[in-house]
Amino acid sequence: MNADRSTRGSGVGIEVSGRVVRGVHVVAEDDEPVRVTAEVPVRTPDDDHSMLDALVRLRADLGHPQAPTRVATFAPSNVLRRIDVTGATGTELSETRSRLDHEHGITSTVLLDDGPRRWLLAIDWSSSDARRLEELVERAGFVDVAVDPGPVALARVLDREVHRVRRTSPNGGFDLVVRDGLPVAAAATEPHGDLPRLAQGDAAVPPGWFDGMTAPSDLVREIGAMTIDSVPDEALSVDGWSYPRYPAHDLRAPARVCVALGAAMGAAGRAGRVRPVDVVEPTASRSIEYPWVVERLSDLPEPTPATIGPVKRFVASVLPRRRRR
């Protein structure tokens, strides 16, 4: 068996962002867990063959790893927010997920544990696109594949003092609000700049600030208005180890690999308990309107069954019956 799969603490993280895929392979070593990073352009992101070709080349650049893999993505127009479900039973969680599906069209959620608190992260993205990526990554040869939202992956490698993050990129980015190391809300942003950038702030967001905000436009406006300052740019913490600061043009630069690195830490099980994204399958009642199926067939009364009268019954008893041969 390959050592990567048998050693606890090893994992592969992949970021899929527009016309580029980035990968990080982390191993169970104390001095420097990051073994190799790679970046491969994608000619046509919407074409399966083009995306598969890029993923195959990425796996080769990473040294054909056989460790568990997490794929992180967050496309334009995607948003997420968390809901307090502390103390909720399994039935109540199912009801909350069903309500998100029917009222807001949100079918993807993730449970996050924060000591005695429990949060349900509602992810407004295309679950079919996430399944497509998962299938393509598996076809490329990666193993134990799961898909994460990009902000969830990035939150795993942020210092505890960080509460606001803005990750910009020529392929698209996102704004993220974090509290106690867990994502609170996030909204995707438009492509910006020539190189990926990562800005972080330590101004904490008051508890409950995003409660009641269900419209994506409200989340985008509120998150986009936040200011970023006071924390050194591109400071990442990997399982207690400070990630080196490489130049912005280096493929190992923190702003480039931060999302893939967070995904790799999640795949390696080195960022607390990892829960998969739960997807509520669309119900028939949402997609099919059944017609009324009861209709009147006839106005005529029901026919009465034929019976033998008393005269015929008397005659039949008197007359001799014909003997059968």
Residue 74 is assigned to a structural domain of this protein = yes
Cα–Cα nearest to 182, from 206, 208, 153: 153
The pLDDT of 212-219, averaged and rounded, is 77
Q: Are strands 197-201 and 230-231 parallel, antiparallel or unpaired?
A: antiparallel
pLDDT band at 226 (very low <50, low <70, confident <90, very high): confident
Beta carbons within 8 Å of 8's beta carbon, 6+ residues apart? 28, 269
Residue 63 is assigned to a structural domain of this protein = yes
List, for residues 71-83, the tens digit of each pLDDT value.
999 998 899 999 9
Q: With 60 as the cut, is the pLDDT of residue 221 above it?
A: yes
List, for residues 178-207, the tens digit of each pLDDT value.
988 899 999 999 898 899 999 998 888 887
Q: Domain holding 9: CATH number? A: 3.30.420.380
Beta carbons within 8 Å of 278's beta carbon, 6+ residues apart? 97, 108, 109, 110, 111
Q: With 80 as the cut, is the pLDDT of residue 298 above it?
A: no
Residue 318 is assigned to a structural domain of this protein = no
Q: With 70 as the cut, is the pLDDT of residue 294 above it?
A: no
How high is the pLDDT of residue 135?
97
Residue 285 is assigned to a structural domain of this protein = no
Q: What rounded mean pLDDT belongs to the chain?
A: 84
* Domain coverage including residue 270: 3-279
Residue 314 is assigned to a structural domain of this protein = no
Give the C-alpha separation, 59 to 64, whole Å.
5
pTM for the whole structure? 0.81
Residue 298 is assigned to a structural domain of this protein = no
List, for residues 122-137, the tens digit of each pLDDT value.
999 999 999 999 999 9
Residue 286 is assigned to a structural domain of this protein = no
Count of domains in the chain? 1
How high is the pLDDT of residue 2?
45
How high is the pLDDT of residue 303?
65
